[in-house]
Structure 1
Amino acid sequence: MLQYVTTVIDYDAEIERILGGPPSKLAFRALCAALVRAGSPAGLVSLCHERLASWPDRMREAPWSWLAALEAGHTKPTWELVRSLQLRSARTGILDAALPDPRSRSEVRGVTHLDLGWYASDRLAALVETMESWEDLRSIQVGGLTDMDGALLTRLAGRAALVRLESLDLVSVREDMWHFKKPPFRPPGGQAWRLRHAGLRAPDLVHLMRSGLVPDLRSADVLVCDFGEARDLAGCAELARLERLSIGFRCGKNGRQPLWKPYFGNVIDQDDEACEAFFACADLASLRSLTVRGTAMGLGREGLGARGIDAVIGSGVLRQLTELNLELLPVGDAAISGVLESLDRGRIERLKLADLVATDVTAAAFAAAGAFPRLRHLDVSRNHLGAKGAQQLAADVRMPVLEHLDLSGREGGSPYYGRPEVQPVGDAGAAAWASSPNAGTLTYLNMAATGLTVNGLTALMTSERLHRLGGLDLACNPVGSWPAHLRDAPVWRTLRTVDAADCGLGDDDIEALATTVSAPCLHSVSLAYNTIGPRGARALAAWAALPQLWELNLHDNVLGDDGLTALASSGAAQRLLELDLEQDCWNAHARGNATQSPALLLDRAAFPSLDAIFLGIVDEYHDARYSSGFPSPSRQELASAPTTRPELAAFLTHLDVEQLDDDGDDADTEGSDDERAEYDFRTERAVRHAEFIAVAQDFARRMIEGDIGWPPPLTSDTS
């Protein structure tokens, strides 16, 4: 019999430490796990009730895995602390959870926030049916509704319980309106609602405001689909009460794009015209937060252009804002520079200028502005800044209270099928921020897909200025190694989360990483899409930081049975809540579809706090699942056995079984061995990264030189 080396945990101290730390959804799960393992004594539960009252309800979330376990017949005493539900699994080949019925499930009667997910007509229908029984419900969010949901929205509009809501999102500005129309939502007049936030189509928002139903509305997300809608919305006097507005203009379509190439994007004249009509007339006297968002189109973007931005500037609203978010708009440096000149730089606290075709010219405009004394959050991700631009932001712009900085490129999804669009700030940009006067207040830094090598990693990890850094994202970079001398790097003192997915790390690097003895705050580590084998898994199993981790992502590595057994048998991962061990079908060393996972993974003693586990073989291109980590007879037996641990039961009972192939011969694994070895992105990882960086640098150069090259002649090769 294997002997587990377990850590004795003082649960009172553990719970106090979590409650005293920053609120997060993961921290809430860790708190609940500690309570369960402590036996959920009444005194501790009462203490948590009291202290959690200061946390945002959205942080007190029961994730998909809890709901799936509840459906499979497993409950837990900490459900009474839950205030928010996330029904969407967001996992390949795994079904979303059904909406629990509060009439029969007492566990969810305290819920105040429901996120039903996308294309969730069935879950919204279940909510409409049980609406009056959700007595504490204050917020509903659902995305992807279509014109086929018209009758459902009519039923929702008639529910008396709507008067209790404070937030209702039926539309998101993330939606592109390309494929589906939106049904109307027209509640009858009568008793005024408590609603403070609404996400709706423009005609529906106009109806709510003019009907007098929402006198307390202070925040809105709205999609405007033609010039007339823009003009009607602008004419609503009630806009003057809004403190926050997020708006997407969806008045025209183009859709042209070069295949697999970055390009400037498509300016939609109808969006510009509607934007001009809205901002010329709308009374936004109370507005403090503004978001304007376009849509993605291949490796570009589509929506309003410089004319629309000029209209926003011309309205004068920018000078009163504390928060501005511009995203996915084909506007370029000149328009962004105009925005920066128009802001009240002494007032702005949060600034997102993401995916706007910005280059180092925009960084120079920041430098010309000089100082942003209240700016806490800066996001210039998915643009085309280079090393010079990153250096200017680091050295020539004074941001004395900056906490959050996002310089990342576009990660591009699975490296088998996607491709990152690099923002090539590179090692020089990382080094500039490692030594920047602005670095001392940073708590989060995103450098994903920026062309970092081991030199950039070393500069960041050894920085003495980054002495408050809690989150570091390094994903999708050609780092290539993890030097052993980083074991005592200063940044380990404060890091809470590290994402090193797709960084070209192998067993030697994981052994070096695992020599880090002290990382007292570390809770979440992602090493997905690397090349970690049994030796690396054994190093992780012995890592001094493993007993404190809440989350470990080993997605699509090559651990093998020996590595999985080493992790499970160590007994060190006492606090681990979520563990991802899936592989892609094109991984050259993927397990067979019918291969049985090691039995030790099923032992509760291996991971006693676990509430979510993901196993088996997936096809991320087709969003399909080929195996569960168990051959079909074992899977079916485990799924139905009352002794199966809850998180495994949740996983096995919510698989999309239509494409499972876990009862066949292991030779059926996708592709031949030669084909898979050739297709595995690891084969030419370094070459591919070099190509991505070169393409990004060339594109940035062309944008700076004014060589936009778009739109092309109609005879060119576009689709």
Structure 2
Amino acid sequence: MIDFGAEIEQVLDGPPSRLAFRAVCAALLRAGCPERLVSRCEERLASWPDEVREASWSWLAALKAGHSKPTWRLVRALAPQSVRNGTVDPALPDPRSCAEVRGVTRLDLGRYASEQLEVLAATLDHWENLRSVRIGGLTGSDGELVARIAGHDALTRLESLSLVGVDEDMWHFEKPPFSPPEGRTWQLRHVGLRAPDLVRLLRSGQVPTLRSVDVLVCSAQEALDLAARPELARLDRLAIGFRCGKNGRQPLWKPYFGNVIDEDDDAAEAFFARADLTGLRSLVVRGTPMGLGREGLGERGVDAIVAGGVLRQLTELTLELLPVGDAVIARVLEGIDAERIEKLALTDLVATDRTATALAAPGVLPRLRHLDLSRNRLGAEGARQLAAGVRLPALEHLDLGGRESGSPYYARPDIQPVGDDAAEAWASSDNAAKLTHLRLAATGLSSDGLAALMTSERLPELGTLDVACNPVGSWPTALLDAPVWRTVRSLNLADCGLGDADVRSLASTASAPRLHSVSLAYNSVGSQGARALAAWALLPQLWELDLHDNVIGDDGLTDLATSGAAQRLLELDLEQDCWNPRARDDRKPLPAEIVDPASFPSLDAIFLGMVDEYHGSRYSCGFPTRVREEIVSAPGTRPELIAFLTHLETDGFEDDEEDTGPDEDRDPDDHDFRTERTARHAELFDEARDFARRMFEGDIGWPPPKEPAQGAAADGG
């Protein structure tokens, strides 16, 4: 007999996460949701952050289709926007008629979510427990809705309101003003606003508890106005993006230094020279991506931050997507207090090994827990310096990865060329003793580097290992009982060139007591690999299995479904891209066993069919129209499958008799990234090393000379 109480306690004793929360709820449902267990979960979950107690998209879609579950009483956060290709966002529930959402404290509406915002504007008074609202991508057309939100008395209950994030640009849309009426005192501790709106709010005296701000500054005058507010001295966290100008030039599909925006530098100088930031402990400054480069403030702007003196008092610093390079970063590192800093994220700044040398200069960073140097141009020597040339006794989170490609059919990764040397250095480093998170995605890692990491005894706490988008190419048999299996919880092997034989080797590992999530997306897993997974001793404990865009036939899918082993699986992705040369015929329905509730009894999200990842659209859902409608209307269909099948953009679907699937004149083999994956990785690795060499030598080579007006442009805007 299954001891559901013990299973639930084991999850609750682990680290809080959205996936772990869903696992708790699934175990409760399998146990029949006895009140004793539900109450125990409520008691234990009270110590978890509300943001991880999130109902997934599939729960909301199922709720819209009329399927509820008793575990809704445990939910505290909603994020209704789907991020899947060809799926439809479920409507935001109305708490007046939907009791399930009345305990929600946090709403993240996503980006460009005008319909969700309209529902919120009409129902805000009735979200009695709501304390946090976030929406991104607002445009001028949302002005009336934002005005309605601003006028609500219910806003005085909020602790966080984000209408703008520093991950947004101002290229395409103006942001609507936020002008709440004066005379009310707010409980806000965090806001995300444009600078003029933030200035008005600070001046009004309505936000005495404000301690955290995300703000976009769009001119030097806005910077001056904001810097003049004495209330900034109360902030302990500031995230700021300067969006005062734009350039847009880029060499298509080539790495480059980036575009320095003089107007952003001017505004940064004006702000950091005058703002009183004496209470600040966390600072984020972010530019914007531009092709395979970055755009925003440059040397003058970052030097203004250093000259302002704020760095010395920080415990957390994030600089991201800024065209600055090593010399500027070195001055930043000289400005921080090595004894104080706990989090340091220097991402996408065109850093090379010289940055690693500067970081190692203090000799020890005793409190640094989080180090992110991703999406730069560090090499093997830089990785070795960080592993052995500086003491990092508190380090828990390390990211040395490059930029992953997204869909490898349509994009390319941007490699950080640390390679196997980084893995080998960190596998033998004393600094790895407390690492719980290690990301080496898109770094040129091979099977040798992977083996060095997984067989190391120096990683006794490692829970997350991400090596996606690397030319691993094979799964070494030496990893059968590798030490990392003792602790790893999440393993990302997406786009690593693994096939059926490799999956059989992977599935020969019989013990990994904490493993819950595995991604094998964009590999070459076929039916034999699926059968190996079906027989894997660890499959019964997995919560998440990502097999997106592999090549599994119906026989393999059937074996995976009928094994009866995936008892705890919460999320399963079996989608394929339309350019996959071995994609199944989308006119033929998937095996019935895939959708049999007995196959995956805990499943709460499933993704099937064929998608076009270039256009973000969908060709099929795994079933012809007639079959899809029969499944949806059948009384025994599982709610999560109904949620998926009833929230699809079906414009690209065709009727059974006329459906020819993707264009039959295409030649998928010409577009399949698998055919030249290894050679392509090697080419990109060499390109990244060459780019790093040029940056190291000061050969920025950007911007290019202006072209004659009559000439054809070589740059893309």
Q: How does 1:487-526 map to 2 (within 5 A)?
A: 487-526=480-519
Alignment of 1:216 onto 2:209: yes
Q: How far has the Cα of 1:642 moved from its partner?
A: 3.7
Alignment of 1:151 onto 2:112: no
Q: How does 1:263-662 map to 2 (within 5 A)?
A: 263-661=256-654
2:34 partner amino acid:
P
Q: How far has the Cα of 1:19 moved from its partner?
A: 1.1
Q: How far has the Cα of 1:369 moved from its partner?
A: 2.4
Name the structure 1 match of 2:710: none
Structure 2 regions of 5+ residues with no counterpart? 708-712
Of residues 112, 131, 135 in structure 1, which corresponds to 2:124? 131
Match of 1:405, SS state, is: strand
Q: How does 1:11-90 map to 2 (within 5 A)?
A: 11-90=4-83
Q: Distance in 1 between matches of 2:665 and 2:432?
A: 49
Contact kept, 8 Å, 1:592 with 1:666, in 2: the verdict is: no
Match of 1:574, SS state, is: coil
Name the structure 2 match of 1:3: none
Alignment of 1:111 onto 2:104: yes
Contact kept, 8 Å, 2:243 with 2:296, in 1: the verdict is: yes
Q: How far has the Cα of 1:9 moved from its partner?
A: 3.1
Contact kept, 8 Å, 2:587 with 2:661, in 1: the verdict is: no
Of residues 704, 707, 712 in structure 2, which corresponds to 1:712? 704
Alignment of 1:187 onto 2:180: yes
Alignment of 1:683 onto 2:670: no
Q: Distance in 2 between matches of 1:250 and 1:567?
A: 50
1:295 partner amino acid:
T
Contact kept, 8 Å, 1:594 with 1:665, in 2: the verdict is: no
1:563 partner amino acid:
G
Q: Distance in 2 between matches of 1:294 and 1:531?
A: 37
Q: How far has the Cα of 1:670 moved from its partner?
A: 3.6
1:475 partner amino acid:
A
Match of 2:317, SS state, is: strand
Q: How far has the Cα of 1:661 moved from its partner?
A: 3.6
Q: Distance in 2 between matches of 1:122 and 1:137?
A: 19
Structure 1 regions of 5+ residues with no counterpart? 1-7
Normalised TM-score (structure 2): 0.98
Q: How far has the Cα of 1:387 moved from its partner?
A: 0.5
Q: How far has the Cα of 1:435 moved from its partner?
A: 0.5
Contact kept, 8 Å, 1:586 with 1:671, in 2: the verdict is: no
2:135 partner amino acid:
V
Q: Distance in 2 between matches of 1:569 and 1:22?
A: 31
* Offset from partner CA, 1:493-524 (integer Å, 9 cap, x none): 00000000000000000000000010000000
Q: How far has the Cα of 1:593 moved from its partner?
A: 1.9
Q: How far has the Cα of 1:168 moved from its partner?
A: 0.2
Moved over 3 A (4+): 664-668, 670-673
Contact kept, 8 Å, 2:50 with 2:106, in 1: the verdict is: yes
Of residues 101, 104, 107 in structure 1, which corresponds to 2:94? 101
Q: Distance in 2 between matches of 1:71 and 1:117?
A: 18
Name the structure 1 match of 2:191: 198
Segment of structure 1 superposing worse, 207-216 or 252-261:
207-216
Segment of structure 1 superposing worse, 637-646 or 541-550:
637-646
Q: Distance in 2 between matches of 1:650 and 1:83?
A: 21
Q: Distance in 2 between matches of 1:369 and 1:698?
A: 29
Match of 1:441, SS state, is: coil
Q: Distance in 2 between matches of 1:42 and 1:360?
A: 57
Q: Distance in 2 between matches of 1:491 and 1:336?
A: 34
Q: How far has the Cα of 1:678 moved from its partner?
A: 2.1
Match of 1:292, SS state, is: strand
Normalised TM-score (structure 1): 0.98
Q: Distance in 1 between matches of 2:320 and 2:655?
A: 43
Q: Distance in 1 between matches of 2:676 and 2:237?
A: 47
* Offset from partner CA, 1:51-95 (integer Å, 9 cap, x none): 111001001000111000101111000000000001111000001
Segment of structure 1 superposing worse, 640-649 or 31-40:
640-649
1:682 partner amino acid:
R
Q: How far has the Cα of 1:96 moved from its partner?
A: 1.3
Name the structure 1 match of 2:687: 695
* Offset from partner CA, 1:5-62 (integer Å, 9 cap, x none): xxx5320101111111111100000000000110100111111111111001001000
Q: How far has the Cα of 1:713 moved from its partner?
A: 1.1
Contact kept, 8 Å, 1:630 with 1:662, in 2: the verdict is: no
Q: Distance in 1 between matches of 2:661 and 2:536?
A: 36
* RMSD (Å) for aligned C-alpha atoms: 1.0
Q: Distance in 2 between matches of 1:665 and 1:393?
A: 60
Contact kept, 8 Å, 2:188 with 2:207, in 1: the verdict is: yes
Q: How far has the Cα of 1:152 moved from its partner?
A: 1.0
1:136 partner amino acid:
N
Q: Cα distance 1:665–1:566, how it changes in 2: closer, same or farther (>3 A)?
A: farther
Contact kept, 8 Å, 1:586 with 1:670, in 2: the verdict is: no
Contact kept, 8 Å, 1:628 with 1:662, in 2: the verdict is: no
Match of 2:491, SS state, is: strand
* Offset from partner CA, 1:444-488 (integer Å, 9 cap, x none): 000000000111011001010011100000100000000122110
1:680 partner amino acid:
D
1:334 partner amino acid:
A
Of residues 140, 145, 164 in structure 2, which corresponds to 1:171? 164
Match of 2:125, SS state, is: helix
Q: Distance in 1 between matches of 2:360 and 2:467?
A: 26
Q: Distance in 2 between matches of 1:186 and 1:663?
A: 53
Q: How far has the Cα of 1:672 moved from its partner?
A: 4.2
Q: Distance in 1 between matches of 2:661 and 2:48?
A: 49
1:19 partner amino acid:
L
2:259 partner amino acid:
N
Match of 2:480, SS state, is: helix
Match of 1:142, SS state, is: strand
2:514 partner amino acid:
C
Q: Distance in 2 between matches of 1:202 and 1:397?
A: 40
